[in-house]
Amino acid sequence: AQKVTQAQTEISVVEKEDVTLDCVYETRDTTYYLFWYKQPPSGELVFLIRRNSFDEQNEISGRYSWNFQKSTSSFNFTITASQVVDSAVYFCALSEAGANSKLTFGKGITLSVRP
Amino acid sequence: NAGVTQTPKFQVLKTGQSMTLQCAQDMNHEYMSWYRQDPGMGLRLIHYSVGAGITDQGEVPNGYNVSRSTTEDFPLRLLSAAPSQTSVYFCASSPQGISNQPQHFGDGTRLSIL
């Protein structure tokens, strides 16, 4: 069975600080996909990134970066120079390969960025 | 392009009432799913469908029914609402399966059962 653990429940930082959101996953498959979604206070779910299990390259998109390490089953998300607009709930999710695969979410991390 | 449309956005029911949450997508996506979001629990999969005429259970299916008669629509039915079903419900779709495709989410339905 697949599982996603986001041990941090709430994080509060001051604007311009860097912050890392942790995600640890469990799966028996060798082919799987990892995702991060953002849920701002308005409530919608916004897709941020997808990573497959064969691509361990780190990814950077502006102030966002992701560190995928299969050795530790982690897919961590770092926001550099955080801004108030980054305040949201962030979900890490996992799906295994296959047409009937399901997406399993972690419980989410509430990030508050104070001005 | 509307994407994934959920109706209603808000609903209050009394215990024992039935209702249908509607979900429609205009992207010709094969895969559709329903999640519920509860505080501290993340999103949990209720039911999903890999195509018209095919549905399957997710993690928390009890108390909910679904059907998929068309590619576009995937309604979620509560046959006899219970207070434990108070939640925010999200419908999502993706082109083919969800293993390597990000899901497109609707804006959610906030449901309260009294």
The predicted-structure confidence for A9-48, as pLDDT tens digits, reads as follows: 999 999 999 999 999 999 998 999 999 999 999 999 999 9
Output the 3-class SS for chain B: CCCEEEECCEEEECCCCCEEEEEEECCCCCEEEEEEEECCCEEEEEEEEEECCEEEECCCCCCEEECCCCCCECCEEECCCCHHHCEEEEEEEECCCCCCCCCEECCCEEEEEC
The partner residue sitting opposite B98, judged by closest CB among A9, A45, A103, is A103
pLDDT tens digits, one per residue of B41-82: 899 999 999 999 999 999 999 999 999 999 999 999 999 999
The partner residue sitting opposite B42, judged by closest CB among A47, A91, A98, is A91
> A55: pLDDT confidence band, cut at 50, 70 and 90?
confident
pLDDT tens digits, one per residue of B14-38: 999 999 999 999 999 999 999 999 9
Residue A73 Cα, gap to closest chain B Cα (Å):
18
Residue of chain B nearest A52, judged by CA positions: B100
With 80 as the cut, is the pLDDT of residue B96 above it?
A: no
